[in-house]
Structure 1
Amino acid sequence: MIKKSLIGLAVLTATVLSSTASAEDSKVVGVRPYVSFKAGAGFQDLDARCHDETSGTTKTVYDCGLDHKTVFNMRPAIGLQFAGESYVGGRVEVEWYNTNRAKFINDVLIPAGTDEETGEQLYAPGYERNKIQSQAVMFNTYADFYTSELFTPYVGLGLGWAKHSNKYSLYSYATEDGSKYTLRSGNTTTNRLAASASAGTAINFNEHFALDLGATYYYLGTIKNPTTEYKQVLNSFNLDAGLRVSF
């Protein structure tokens, strides 16, 4: 899902860039503050990366669990808009990204001691249930393309800090009859570096109000369980709509 979403985002970006050739100047020249609020759907992937084998300093890693969930997100922001005489302007903003809690279930391998003869690490099959709520403070920069009086397409990049609240339960099937049992459950908070790439367009009602339609890919960092040797990577592809008010 994420790979297909990134391809779609790249196509949208190319369309935005190619549309500037026949532009009309509709901008207000100067530096203007603005506030915005967007909301929409986030299509999240939680990818568990498990350690298959360790030999010296070499570690083989493979994907042993992947789950997808759709979340609701809100994205209020405050920023500055810069417009000169050219068809290309810019914006910088601070955004607060917030989602509801989503439940992921991933198949994992759980360390289960070592082989008595070889000393190799042994793993038992199991799964982990994660209930994750994410929020982030993002610092975004955008390039605006003044293609017409009505439409202002844009592309953007962001960097920030994400905080993940996780209610997890770890289960193992390492019993003779194959039934599961709970190894551990608890709550964790993880802080990680986050990054984003976006493309969209503003539909201008007048020089102060615009409808903002966009697509954004978020890399939200890793979430590590304190009882296992694997990490989980959280990504999200968002489709949002909202209002931007310029002063």
Structure 2
Amino acid sequence: MIASHRSALAATLATGTLLGLLAGSCALPGRAAAADLPPPPPPPVEAAPVAIGSGWYLRGDFTQSWYDHPRDDAIPDPSDPGMPPLVGLRLSSESGYGGGIGYQINPWLRVDATIDQRGASSFRGYSSRSVFETGYNLEAGKVDVLTGLVNVYADIGTWYGFTPYVGAGVGFADKRMSRNYTQTTCLIDGCDGLEGTGPRNAAFRANHSVTTFAWALTAGLSYDIGAGFSLDAAYRYINLGKVRSGFDEYGGATRLKDLAANEFRVGLRYRFADGLLPAVARGYGN
């Protein structure tokens, strides 16, 4: 009885060994074939997003202009050679506003194009054949100025968010003289051939616009306040060229040259590349 059980156990073990060998022999070709396959290709690399608006910025500015004293540019009248030039020429200081679009070329160089409109400045000047002994003439009116400039700036460096810079610009100045008139005032009786003293009737001159070449020099300081915004304050000297009024009923006109202004500007710049992100420290330039 024991011998028959041993024989049955031996037969079972032999059968299991044979089945294992057969299974191993069947699996070997598959493993060998799998080893011969090339590795799978790498996953596709997504293209880096393109920065839209990188370097571009918008600006808006408030301007206060203090005009230098211009000079008389009247054309000599051959029939009246004794008419002296205007003296005491003055233009009142006026505020204005403007804006523009620019591009940051690299950390230290940028360009922009700006348009600035100034308020109408009050103008006056005097002339007198008698050196103000018997009487004098007053010429007065309004002058407003629109400028368009292309500017280049050198950003000197950035320290704690502050960036000083210098710049220069060229473009045009459109000047309009309006409400212009001339008026004689007699200090003695009959200084102009009419009886009495005091101011005479004014002769009004037509409105007139003149567009000429303009240039400017700038020095300023900006401060990065974050989220793409920078505060900007600058001094600018701008040369505006010539201006003249229209003619009055006698053919007279007011003509001025060397019109220029010293300007203080304060404004805000928004740089698209920064988006609505907090300010970051920059090693050089802005």
TM-score using structure 2 length: 0.61
Please state if 1:106 is matched with 2:125: yes
Match of 1:43 in 2: 66
Distance 1:50 1:77, change over 3 A: closer
Match of 1:26 in 2: none
Please state if 1:165 is matched with 2:176: yes
Query: What is the deviation of 1:52?
Result: 11
Please state if 1:205 is matched with 2:222: no
Distance in 2 (alpha carbons) for counterparts of 1:231 and 1:109: 17
Please state if 1:245 is matched with 2:262: no
Whether contact under 8 Å (1:139, 1:160) holds in the other structure is yes
Please state if 1:151 is matched with 2:170: no
Match of 2:57 among 11, 31, 34: 34
Match of 2:238 in 1: 218
Match of 1:80 in 2: 103
Whether contact under 8 Å (1:95, 1:138) holds in the other structure is yes
Distance in 2 (alpha carbons) for counterparts of 1:161 and 1:208: 30
Please state if 1:66 is matched with 2:66: no
Distance 1:180 1:50, change over 3 A: farther
Match of 2:116 among 97, 119, 130: 97
Whether contact under 8 Å (1:140, 1:156) holds in the other structure is yes
Amino acid at match of 1:235: A
Query: What is the deviation of 1:154?
Result: 0.6
Please state if 1:135 is matched with 2:155: no
Q: Which has the higher helix share?
A: 2
Distance in 2 (alpha carbons) for counterparts of 1:76 and 1:145: 23
Query: What is the deviation of 1:65?
Result: 3.0
CA RMSD of aligned residues (A): 2.9
Match of 1:11 in 2: none
Distance 1:145 1:62, change over 3 A: farther
Structure 2, unaligned runs of 5 or more: 1-53, 79-83, 130-134, 186-190, 273-286
Work out which structure has the larger RCO, using CA pairs closer than 8 Å and 6 or more positions apart in sequence. 1
Distance in 1 (alpha carbons) for counterparts of 2:212 and 2:183: 25
Distance 1:184 1:102, change over 3 A: same
Q: Which has the higher strand share?
A: 1
Amino acid at match of 1:154: Y
User: Identity rate of aligned residues, in percent?
Assistant: 21
Amino acid at match of 1:99: R
Query: What is the deviation of 1:82?
Result: 1.9
Equivalent pairs counted in the alignment come to 196
Q: Helix, strand or coil: the match of 1:205?
A: strand
Amino acid at match of 1:77: G
Amino acid at match of 1:175: D
Deviates more, 1:89-98 or 1:231-240: 231-240
Distance in 2 (alpha carbons) for counterparts of 1:51 and 1:185: 14
Query: What is the deviation of 1:207?
Result: 6.8
